[in-house]
Amino acid sequence: MHRRTFLKTATAVTAATAAAATVSSPAVSQNLRKWRMVTTWPKNLPGLGTGAQYFADQVTRCSGGRLTVQLFSSGEIVPAFESIDAVKSGTVEMGHGCPYYWKGKAAAAEFVSNFPFGLTAQEYNAWYHFGGGDKLCDELYADAFGCKFLVCGNTGVQHPGWSRKEVNSLADFQGLKIRMPGLGGEVMKRLGATVVNLPGSEVPTALASGTIDWAEWNNPYGEASMGFWRHAKYYYATGWHEPGTCLELFVNKASWDSLEDDLKAIVEQCAFSTTQVMLSEFQARSGPVLDQFINKHGVIIKKLSDEQIKKLGSTSAEVLTEITGRDAMAKKVFDSMNKFRGEQKVYSDVAEADFLRARSLDYSWPAAS
């Protein structure tokens, strides 16, 4: 509890007890807040739902119950894609989701998630904390949604996904029936694919029947229960379209402003901690699941060819340039991230990438025990 608040409360208690020699209920409970947090996820969805629950629980713990956060899954109070309206209007105090869900209301929100050939999760967090990302996201969310923004999670690299057939060349993209939402889907369409929009629940059946040739989802942990491996043998790994998708906390601006400084600090620290914990969950769980895909289910891991990647890269650039040409705030956000990307590109290649190259070489090593 903030010291001044404590003293104020203590004074109130003193006044009350001086009068009645007992603690009146309102005096004790006046600073106990119960906030509702809507999410765009089913309850305890691996990684995303569990991460949002971790955040809610930690805020409640850290505040000693002064700010209790109750999580509601998608549909419990409002449908997933109305979450930000519910927070903006004050129906609920906060929400957890993915920025690109709000691109129809503000084009720039799509880039707050990241963009094709953009930033790794580690680079994204660096942009947010030290590259001006925090202020820029705050500005966008205040103006467009009446919300305070905080980064609150990251999926890490997402993979283009599951294909029923080998797709070895640019020519193989022609006529490919693919389920891939967002900017990735737009790029694939321009390269000749037929993009099919399907809600998540229909994807396994569509892949099984051949209605689609290819299904994008997210990463091995998120895909563990989907059973795509039953219908598609090839897992394309090269995560060009979503290299590290940011998850978000959005808080009604008036609710945020009403918080004492210590509660604001708690919400911030728990959001940043959740970013690390959520990314850790995806990383920790995806490794063993990928191993099962390969060694238990016979899935074949494929990397996209240089030819395919270069064309995906230049086509992504076209799509991004069109969006930033239409919307000034989208351009402002993209320019900030793109400048940061330029500063990190060489560094990440000699840091993370060159270490991983070294580690993957063949040398004797103690067996796991």
Within 43-72, which residues bind a second copy (CB under 8 A)? Answer: 58, 61-66
Q: Which candidate, 70, 129, 121, places its Cα nearest to that of 277?
A: 121
Instruction: Give dist(CA 215, CA 343) in Å, integer.
Output: 33
Closer to a second copy by Cβ: residue 208 or 237: 237
**Quick one: which of 237, 253, 255, 327 contacts a second copy (CB under 8 A)?**
237
Within 283-322, which residues bind a second copy (CB under 8 A)? Answer: 283-288, 290-291, 294, 301, 303-304, 306, 309-311, 313-314, 317, 320-321
Q: How far is the CB of 212 from a second copy (least distance, A)?
A: 22
Instruction: Give dist(CA 95, CA 81) in Å, integer.
Output: 11
How would you classify the pairing of strands 67-72 and 33-39?
A: parallel
With binding defined as CB under 8 A, does residue 115 bind a second copy? no
With binding defined as CB under 8 A, does residue 144 bind a second copy? no
Within 323-362, which residues bind a second copy (CB under 8 A)? Answer: 324, 334-335, 338-362
**Quick one: which of 69, 107, 188, 279 contacts a second copy (CB under 8 A)?**
279
With binding defined as CB under 8 A, does residue 191 bind a second copy? no
> Using CB under 8 A as the criterion, what x/- string covers residues 238-277 for binding a second copy?
xxx--x----------------xxx--xx-xxx-xx-xxx
Candidates 71-79, 119-127, 142-150, 194-202: pick the segment binding a second copy (CB under 8 A).
119-127
C-alpha 16, offset from chain centre: 47
Residue 1, C-beta contacts closer than 8 angstroms, at least 6 positions apart? 9, 31, 64, 66, 262
C-alpha 334, offset from chain centre: 17
Q: How far is the CB of 291 from a second copy (least distance, A)?
A: 7
- Whether the Cβ atoms of residue 98 and residue 323 lie closer than 8 Å to each other: no
Residue 121, C-beta contacts closer than 8 angstroms, at least 6 positions apart? 154, 155, 156, 157, 243, 244, 279
**Quick one: which of 120, 163, 245, 252 contacts a second copy (CB under 8 A)?**
120
